Amino acid sequence: MTTLSIRLPDTLVKEVDAKAKLLHVPRAEYVRLAISRMNSEVSAEERRKRLRALSECVRKESLRVCAEFDLVEYGRAKAK
């Protein structure tokens, strides 16, 4: 395991200590969990952005295919 040295404002350290105590975990474990959670959130947001971009790329084609199915199923084009 690598050691990481960081500088934090005193108010943040006090808050970290209070939350760690509340959860009955050492300060270092609390910070590790916080970093891990933040990494997960950033990864999830990146994934959402990629999926949204891909969805936009196929949107027109998806609408065209849906219109074709509607025509086959109901014998008419779906109203826009």
Backbone angles phi, psi at 74, to 5 degrees: -110, -5
Element (H, E) at 41: helix 27-74
pTM for the predicted model, two decimal places: 0.67
Express each pLDDT in 11-55 by its tens digit: 999 999 999 999 999 999 999 999 999 999 999 999 999 999 999
- In angstroms, how far apart are the furthest CA atoms of the chain? 70
Q: 19 or 77: whose pLDDT is higher?
A: 19
CB atoms within 10 A of CB 70: 14
Q: Give the pLDDT confidence score for residue 2 in this predicted structure.
A: 93
The whole-number pLDDT of residue 61 equals 87
CB 14 within 8 A of CB 25: no
Q: What's the gap between Cα 4 and its chain centre?
A: 26
